[in-house]
Amino acid sequence: MKLGAGRRKSLNEISLERWDTVVKRKKRWRLRKKAVGVTLKTVIAACFAILFLMPILLTITNSFMGASEISSNYGQVFATNDSGGKVYISETVNLKFIPDMVSFSQYITVLLKSPEYLFKFWNSVILVVPIVVFQLLVAAGAAFGFTRYRGRVKEIIFFIYIILMLMPYQVTLVPNYLVSDWLHILDTNWAIWLPGIFSPFAVYLLTKYMRRIPISVMEAAQIDGAGEWQIFRHICMPLCKGAMCSIAILIFIDYWNMVEQPLILLSDEQKHPLSVFLSKINAGEIGLAFAVATIYMVPPILVFLYGEDYLVEGITYQGGIKG
């Protein structure tokens, strides 16, 4: 409330004070309402956060239980699972947040005594890393091709990429299987690698990003005498570094999590990645399952903590909001 000095004199002092208190009360009321709203929202968000985090945290804390503690707590869950029949034991399953006794016995067994788990982990790495690297390389070239000299034919081809990207596995796996069969690469890692490397996903995202680079930048380089390779290598690639990181993270999550492809394309269980192997874990090994699960979680979580902003950016490009 700004009042001129001359006007204040002419007003009744008491009514002015009252007016002030009214305004203050209103302001305070509004502030209080806001504070209540903020606390309410924070509490709701916190509840959601707990729900979201709980499964992850439980897996991690449970991995520090001894084998006997696990089998006494959860033994029956996996026993019924295994026989397939419905064997109900009246005992309750005790879900524990914090183990009675912290022990690293699970990790010691997994890491030192039984190499098969590490072997499966290595399978996952071997399947995923080449896909991430080469899909990015192939996609970088393709995106450059789509960005330079756009024409109607290229737009149609790009449209095919989009449609194929959106197709669910149910559709693409049948063609993949047929090709692998003809090329005689079924049951080898190539059956997973090759369709992964040529997957249209990275091409789509990178093209969308590269097309946002102002054409004048490339034209300027061209006028200065740069060839296509130089434009690609010294202009597009440096500008796309961030986008490449985002896309690499997205590809990595997707393939680290894969289940369908190895199930169908690799009949040899020795070659299966850890994700498929974990689902087949039986009652005898349940004492180790949580440690194995936690170890399997570590790489994506590290990637996430390191590159969360890249990930968010990648998702945003996907939505085409920035594009």
Partner 1 sequence: MHFPKSRKKEDGLRIMEKNKKATAPLDKRGKRINSNRRRHRGRLISIGYLLPSAVGLLLFFVLPFLIVVYYSVIDNPISNQFVFLDNFVMVFQNAAFRQAAQNTFTFSISAVPLAVVLSLFLAMMLESRIPFKSQFRTFFLSPMMVPIASVVLIWQVLFHFNGMINELRAVFDLDKIDWLNSAYAQVVIVILFLWKNLGYNMILFMAALSSIPKDILEVAILESATPFQIFFHIKLRYISSTILFVTIMSLINSFKVFREIYLLKGDYPYDTMYMLQHFMNNTFSRLDYQKMSAAAIMMAIVMVIIIGILFLTENYFGKDVEG
List binders of partner 1 among 182-221 (CB under 8 A). 194-195, 197-198, 200, 203, 215, 219
Rounded to a whole number of angstroms, the minimum distance from the CB of residue 107 to partner 1 is: 15
Q: 235-254: which residues touch partner 1 (CB under 8 A)?
A: 253
Q: Between the CA of residue 231 and those of 208, 241, 304, what are the distances in Å?
A: 18, 15, 32
Candidate residues 72, 114, 230, 257; the one interacting with partner 1 per rule CB under 8 A: 257
Q: Please tell me what DSSP assigns to residue 284.
A: G
The pair phi, psi for residue 99, each rounded to 5°, is -65, 150
Candidate residues 11, 22, 36, 95; the one interacting with partner 1 per rule CB under 8 A: 95
Q: 96-135: which residues touch partner 1 (CB under 8 A)?
A: none
Q: 129-168: which residues touch partner 1 (CB under 8 A)?
A: 138-139, 141-142, 144-146, 148-151, 154-155, 157, 159-164, 166-168
Q: What is the CA radius of gyration of the chain?
A: 29
Q: Which residue has the tokens 């087949």?
A: 280
Question: Residue count at the site for partner 1 (CB under 8 A)?
Answer: 111
Rounded to a whole number of angstroms, the minimum distance from the CB of residue 103 to partner 1 is: 18
Kindly state whether residue 4 participates in binding partner 1, applying the rule CB under 8 A.
no
Q: 28-87: which residues touch partner 1 (CB under 8 A)?
A: 37-38, 41-42, 44-46, 48-49, 51-53, 55-56, 58-59, 62, 74, 76-78, 80-81, 86
Burial 83-112 (b: 16+ CB within 10 A, else e): eeeeeeeeeeeeeeeebeeeeebbbebbee
Amino acid at 248: A
Q: Cα–Cα distance between 284 and 239 in angstroms, integer?
A: 52
Are the C-beta atoms of 197 and 134 separated by less than 8 Å? yes
Rounded to a whole number of angstroms, the minimum distance from the CB of residue 311 to partner 1 is: 7
Q: Cα–Cα distance between 246 and 258 in angstroms, integer?
A: 19
